[in-house]
Amino acid sequence: MAACVLRFLLELLPCLLIGFWIGGHHPNLAGRFAVPLVRFGVPISVMGLLLKSGLHGDVVQAAGIAVLAVSTVLLVGGWRAQAGGGLATPSLLLGSCIGNTAYFGVPLALAFLPPEALTITIGYDLGATLLTWSVGPQLLGGAATSRWLALRQLLVSMGSSPATRGLVGALVIQATPWSAAISEGLWWPSRIVIVLALMVVGMRLGSLTRQGEPPRLMGAGLGPALVVKLLLYPLLLLMLGLLFGLDPLKLQALALQGAAPTAISILLIAESVGRDQERAAALVFWSTVLAVLTAPVWGLVLQVLV
């Protein structure tokens, strides 16, 4: 068990710290570096991970559970907010259930679980990503939209998602006679993309502290969102997995993805709609810092309980 924690920290911390240092000195570099990485690198990484773990119906199952879990938190949290309690703003509500599964969750799964669990990891990320970019701008922007426009935005999100492009590419490659050789060839490039992506996360966090101090933790109303994201949301995924009768490996994979910190996409959406950027930045920063401690604990707990 200790070896799993050490492997996770050795892969995660150096990348985050190097990126953090770079982002503190060059705050605009993360945005320029992230565009080609997301456009070209992430689809390659998804293809390599999916081909390594195998493509089957578990991808769809994990995506469906992701949508169900996120929708549950949004509905319950929205009702609580209207009643005057719980998560005070849309950015905190969305950030409490949308995790950095692509960049943080994959190294977490690789450290604690065998490669077969990557199918669940990628499927969960696919479902959560599509839901995030389809409802996130409306939720944070507060603008009403028609059903047709919402459907159109969902289809656009599906087509533009790097996870979708990686999934399609993996399906095409798997249908060829050279799938095994291509799978082996893509494995290390896919790992390198994860390392670069973690550095981008660190660069983004470093850019948030370029004025000499990190985003405020106290007084920003982050407490409930951090508790939900790092403690209650993984527990919700574990309960849903038990409800659907998933095997232990799938249960661990789902709960570990829930333990990932708030996704940087929440901050990007908040910046794009011009609302609540400060809280979104603080939630991304502090959930990532705390998840370095809480996520390995979840990995150890799940190995014992499941």
For residues 30 and 58, the answer to whether their CB atoms sit within 8 Å is: no
H helices within the chain, ranges in order?
2-25, 29-36, 42-53, 58-82, 90-95, 106-112, 118-141, 147-160, 162-174, 179-208, 222-227, 233-243, 248-258, 264-273, 277-305
Percentage helix, strand, coil for the chain under 3-state DSSP, each rounded to 5:
80, 0, 20
Backbone dihedral region for residue 245 (phi beyond 0: left; psi -120 to 50: alpha; all else: beta): left
Report helix, strand or coil for 20.
helix
Q: Helix/strand/coil (H, E, C) string of 226-242? A: HHHHHHHHHHHHHHHHH
DSSP letter (8 states) at residue 260: S
Taking Cα atoms as reference points, which of 290, 101, 294, 265 lies closest to residue 214?
Answer: 290
Taking Cα atoms as reference points, which of 124, 82, 134, 81 lies closest to residue 101?
Answer: 124
278-292: string of b/e by CB count within 10 Å (b at 16+)? ebbbbbbbbbbeebe
How much is the CA Rg of the chain, to the nearest whole Å? 18
Tell me the per-residue pLDDT of 113-125, one tens digit each, with 9 for 90 and over: 887 888 888 889 8
Structural domains of the chain ordered from first start: 2-305 (1.20.1530.20)
Q: How far apart are the first and last CA of the chain?
A: 14
For residues 196 and 11, the answer to whether their CB atoms sit within 8 Å is: no
**Per-residue confidence of the chain (306 residues) as pLDDT tens digits?**
667 777 777 778 888 888 888 888 887 777 777 778 777 887 888 788 778 777 777 888 888 999 999 989 888 877 766 655 566 678 888 889 989 887 788 888 888 888 788 888 888 988 887 777 767 777 776 654 555 655 666 566 666 667 677 878 888 888 888 888 888 888 888 878 888 878 888 887 887 776 555 666 555 578 888 999 999 999 999 999 999 998 999 999 999 999 999 988 787 777 766 777 778 888 888 999 899 999 999 999 988 877
Q: At what angle do helices 162-174 and 118-141 cross, to 10 degrees?
A: 150
Distance between CA atoms of 66 and 17, rounded to whole angstroms? 30
pTM, rounded to two decimals: 0.81
Q: At what angle do helices 179-208 and 42-53 cross, to 10 degrees?
A: 130
Q: For residue 243, with 0-12 CB atoms within 10 Å meaning exposed, 13-18 middle and 19 or more buried, which class applies?
A: exposed
Distance between CA atoms of 88 and 86, rounded to whole angstroms? 6
Tell me the per-residue pLDDT of 92-112, one tens digit each, with 9 for 90 and over: 888 899 898 877 888 888 888
